[in-house]
Structure 1
Amino acid sequence: MKSNITEIKLRVNALLKELERLEASELENREMFPLSELKQRVTRYVKDNDITIDTFCELAMISKTTLYAAFNSPGSTKRATIEAIISVFGNYRLYVGRVDAN
């Protein structure tokens, strides 16, 4: 009976590893980025779409002061502000995840 439990544990571990691999692959296929890249993403969006920061702020319905505060301290920015900013990019959603230790 002990060997059956060991075999089941090995199968479960193998399945968990495969699920983690699939999840990681799925996340890589989504265009995700850390909050630390918020300023670069906004800057690129403004340039690619030939708009001004003022126009971007109007689209996000936030002030320039709020946007620059988010650039300087994205981890301290209110969730609603981050969601307003990323809503301009299109169909984005805010996720929370663990940092890869590797």
Structure 2
Amino acid sequence: MVRARNPDFNVCELAKALAVSDRQLSRAFVTHLHQTPSSRLRAVRLALAAESIVTLGPSVLRDSALARSCGFPSARALRDAWNRASPPAMGSSD
């Protein structure tokens, strides 16, 4: 979870850290978790953002430093991911 907070951390970095190919990592994720590594990483980052929103309020979605602390490169990237993932469960914020 710590690496997920780094906006520069990505699926290639995860595969490298685990000493497997990107393709092997993808197959393992889909087989065992039924999602791609990138969708899982995004879900973890959105969960971090959700915790911040509960603690600090919805302004997190507009704060670049807070977005980066959740693993997103910018507040815009966080808002875009949040809105894509947000039918009624998460709520849209634009």
TM-score (norm 2): 0.33
**Higher-helix-fraction structure:** 1
Larger Rg: 1
Q: Larger relative contact order (C-alpha < 8 A, sep ≥ 6)?
A: 2
Q: TM-score, normalised by structure 1?
A: 0.31
